[in-house]
Amino acid sequence: MTQLEAARLGIATEEMKLCADKEGVTPEVIRRGVEEGSIVVIRNNLHNSIVPLAVGRGLRTKINANIGTSQDHADVALELKKVEACAASGADALMDLSTGGDIRSIRQAIMKASPMAVGTVPIYSAAANAMNRRKSIMEMTADDLFQAIEENGEDGVDFITVHCGVTRESVGRIEAQGRLLGIVSRGGSITARWMDYNDSENPLYAQYDRLLEIARRYDMVLSLGDGLRPGCLADATDRGQVQELIVLGELCRRARMQDVQVMIEGPGHVPYYQIEANISLQKSLCEGAPFYVLGPLPTDIAPGYDHITAAIGGALAGAAGADFLCYVTPSEHLRLPNLEDVHEGIMASRIAAHIADIAKGYPGAMEKDALMAKHRSEFNWEGQIELSIDPGRSRSWLERSESAKEEGCTMCGEFCAIKLGKKDAHRQ
């Protein structure tokens, strides 16, 4: 029985109870959310080593970290270190986006190491296999693709990105309107080119029920991918992007009818003033499904700092109702992220999610900030360090000097406003 099937039958499952505990809500809140589709409980039914992850309305905003090899850098040991970094830095989930090396064995190693939910993009392994075996991605068959999805299910993958909305109709609208940067989603681009080359509809759309059958068997959450997301501000919220979202809304309903849980992926590069509209549109077209946003990035000109750009976009998206933020690392657009990039990306994304949670009125979010203020007013440095988002950095950066003594830090010294504010300050 899938989580959605159970929810429909009024059953609060063990998974829902575990999620409810973590979220500080009743199991009934989770069950009702799953039933109506506003919450997904993410865990492959073969993946019992992890605590399931709930994502959706009324819950804490979650963040995902992408890791994975490329064809130029396929170092499994490094990827496993990234898994550790994801856990240590506080990611809620990770996606293995490997496209280089033995993708399946890398995935299995990552699954084994990860204490958190794992997502993948199965078309990457299908495409890599086609390239290796048949000399071209274009020779990939529909069966290759479904086999890759099946293997991901067998391996215990908890959620998969599937670009089902990249259809002749939506790609046609992209082409009719014209774009500065075309299709920038790797899966979306592979799909669109494959459709063109093979003169065929997208198998994940044409044979959507076959996909649902596999997803249902493993209770894998479908993350309906935005293969047509804009790759630059100039292409944002165009007719092709919105056409895809309409299709995803229809597919979302069909998945629910087969007891398959769904979330929707969102852009991408989007001007700041369009971000809230994008969230409203998704929530409306997809009947309240959880929204998993990639950034969004409200400028194109800041490579090397795209974690900051994504945090700016992510905070606004989250405050407007996005449920799940995909991190972006400082290396985006320049190189494959290293360990430090993973850490920086997660921190930026966690800050955005927390700011959004305060804006959403998520219970307990603002209380953390109030406790930090209390520690500051009491010069409780240890409390500040422990409550801070990165205690390791806080501890190593905090400089104290003789003049600052127990009170103040080296930034203000004798000019510490809080110290001055103490009633006896003027007696010194």
Say whether residue 321 binds its own copies (CB under 8 A): no
Is residue 203 within 8 A of residue 146, CB to CB? The reply is: yes
| Residue among 48, 49, 53 at smallest CA distance from 23 | 53
Which of residues 14, 28, 196, 209 is near its own copies by CB under 8 A?
196
389 lies in the binding site for its own copies (CB under 8 A): yes
Among 87, 246, 308, 407, binds its own copies (CB under 8 A): 308
Point out which span in 34-42, 101-109, 204-212, 270-278 binds its own copies (CB under 8 A): 270-278
CA distance 372 to 379: 10
Q: Is 186 in the site for its own copies (CB under 8 A)?
A: yes
d(CA 228, CA 246): 12
- The residue (of 138 and 206) whose beta carbon lies closer to its own copies is 138
* φ, ψ of residue 143 in degrees (nearest 5): -65, -40
Least CB distance to its own copies at residue 376 (A) = 6
Phi, psi for residue 381 in degrees, rounded to 5: -65, -40
**Binders of its own copies in range 127-166 (CB under 8 A):** 127, 131, 136-138
In 149-282 the beta strands, taken as DSSP E runs, fall at: 159-162, 221-224, 262-266
Element (H, E) at 54: strand 53-56
As measured in angstroms, the least distance from the Cβ of 396 to its own copies is 9
180 makes contact with its own copies (CB under 8 A): yes
Contacting residue, 24, 178, 304, 363, with its own copies by CB under 8 A: 304
C-alpha separations of 411 from 238, 325, 346, 391, 403 in Å:
48, 34, 27, 19, 11
Pick one of 197, 284, 340, 405: the residue that binds its own copies (CB under 8 A): 197
∠ Cα 310 315 318 (to 5°) = 115
User: If binding is defined by CB under 8 A, does position 405 make contact with its own copies?
Assistant: no
Q: Quick one: 403 or 406, whose CB is closer to its own copies? A: 403
The one among 231, 249, 290, 295 contacting its own copies by CB under 8 A: 231
Decide if residue 387 touches its own copies (CB under 8 A). yes
Q: Does 4 help bind its own copies (rule: CB under 8 A)?
A: no
DSSP string, 66-109: EE---SS---HHHHHHHHHHHHHHT-SEEEE---SS-HHHHHHH
- The footprint of its own copies on residues 25-54 (CB under 8 A) is none
> Distance of CA 110 to CAs 82, 128, 149, Å?
9, 18, 17
> Token pair of 258, please?
């087969």
Q: What is residue 39's three-state secondary structure?
A: strand
Least Å distance, CB 55 to its own copies, is 21
Nearest partner of 35 among 268, 257, 280, 292, judged by Cα: 257
What is the helix (H) or strand (E) element at residue 118, kind and residue range?
strand 117-120
When asked if residue 372 is in the footprint of its own copies (CB under 8 A), the reply is yes
Q: Is 359 near its own copies (CB under 8 A)?
A: yes
**75, 80, 109, 182: which one contacts its own copies (CB under 8 A)?**
182
Q: How many residues bind its own copies (CB under 8 A)?
A: 102
In the complex with its own copies, which residue's Cβ is closer, 43 or 354?
A: 354
d(CA 15, CA 238): 39
Rule CB under 8 A: is residue 374 a binding residue for its own copies?
yes
Backbone angles phi, psi at 54, to 5 degrees: -100, 135
Site string for its own copies, 68-87 (x = CB under 8 A): --xxxx--------------
| CB of 35 or CB of 323, closer to its own copies | 323
Minimum CB separation of residue 252 from its own copies in Å reads 24
* Position 312 contacts its own copies (CB under 8 A): yes
Q: Of the candidates 1, 88, 234, 339, which one interacts with its own copies according to CB under 8 A? A: 234
Q: Which of residues 101-120 bind its own copies (CB under 8 A)?
A: none
CA-based max dimension of the chain: 84
State yes or no: residue 184 binds its own copies (CB under 8 A).
yes
Indicate whether 393 belongs to the interface with its own copies (CB under 8 A): yes
